[in-house]
Amino acid sequence: MDAGLLAQYVMNGLMLGMMYALVAVGFTLFFGVLDVIQFSHGDVLTVGAFAALAGFVGLNALGVSSPWLELAIILTLAVAAMALLGALIARYLVMPLRSAPPLNTLLITLMLGTVLREGVRLFYPQGANPKPFPALLPRSSFVFGDFNLRLDNVLMLATGVLVIVGLQFLLNRTKLGLAIRAVAQDEETARTMGINFTAIVLITFALGSGLAAYAGVMNGLYYNEINFGMGLYLGVIGFSAAIIGGLGSIYGAILGGFLFAGLQTIGTVMLPFASAYKDVFAFAVVIAIMAWRPTGLIREKISERV
């Protein structure tokens, strides 16, 4: 294989990995503070992408035509709306079921995912069909021999890295981050130290859901198309990525995201019939990983408490 094609695959893998990592980080954050898996996380991503699209349509109607301004506005809109949605989900669906059996939390988030997915399908105009997503980033590209490095991909990748670095800074260098980590480590001790548990949980859910919205917009810009089912796929893959890295660890989630994207890209390259079976392969990998290391590559160091 020539270098140009290889570079193309690497670039695709990196883009995919960035999206998976952003979704996986959300799962890890939620699991950290509440020990629950928010199964509607992927569908929050879908709603975020559609919110951005709706914002774009609205801006067009208002006559705004600068792509940068439009992008900034719809991104802010999507992230803010999904942060609010995430906090609402935590407040009214996940927290009331804290003392219920874990199965109930699982079911309620799964069903909420269905509500969001079906809501988009039924109530967004022609939501059942794939919708074109506007290309708001510059379309120019650098040409290195066979390899076409698109500027928009570079920009998305760079901002994705910035977001992750920002998240790191927030979690490790600020008082809020300290509080989130404290709650994740031990809820009761955190409470006795005067941390407002409910507020921290809501902020964490807002943060994770905002990241999902960002990933959703990124997905739309990358593929120039969004559909109501995309979040389900990204959610399951993002969750597996979070598990590969060990739930509860931010670095693990990011690593897992890129690892998963790498596996998927290698699968696409290696297997001749893979283009059609791309998703089949991805989900087979999910199942295989769960069979191989059910609690992630970095084993959980806990024993059963009776």
Residues in contact with another protein by the rule CB under 8 A: 36-37, 39, 93, 96-97, 100, 102-104, 106-108, 110-112, 114-115, 117-119, 122, 232-233, 236, 239-240, 243, 276-277, 279-280, 283-284, 286-288, 290-291, 294-295, 304, 306
CB nearer to another protein: give 147 or 233. 233
Q: Under DSSP, is residue 296 helix (H, G, I), strand (E, B) or coil?
A: coil
| Shortest distance, position 27 Cβ to another protein, whole Å | 10
CB nearer to another protein: give 59 or 242. 242
Cα angle, residue 64 at apex, residues 61 and 67 outer, rounded to 5°: 120
* H helical segments located in the chain: 3-34, 41-62, 67-89, 102-123, 151-173, 175-185, 187-192, 197-223, 230-244, 250-270, 278-292
CB nearer to another protein: give 122 or 193. 122
Q: Note whether 78 and 216 are within 8 A (CB).
A: yes
| Shortest distance, position 21 Cβ to another protein, whole Å | 18
CB nearer to another protein: give 138 or 294. 294
CB nearer to another protein: give 10 or 287. 287
| Shortest distance, position 6 Cβ to another protein, whole Å | 26
What are the Cα distances from residue 270, in Å, to 8, 86, 105, 236, 267? 15, 39, 39, 23, 5
Token representation of residue 254: 């990011």
Q: Note whether 74 and 221 are within 8 A (CB).
A: no
| Shortest distance, position 128 Cβ to another protein, whole Å | 10
| Shortest distance, position 94 Cβ to another protein, whole Å | 11
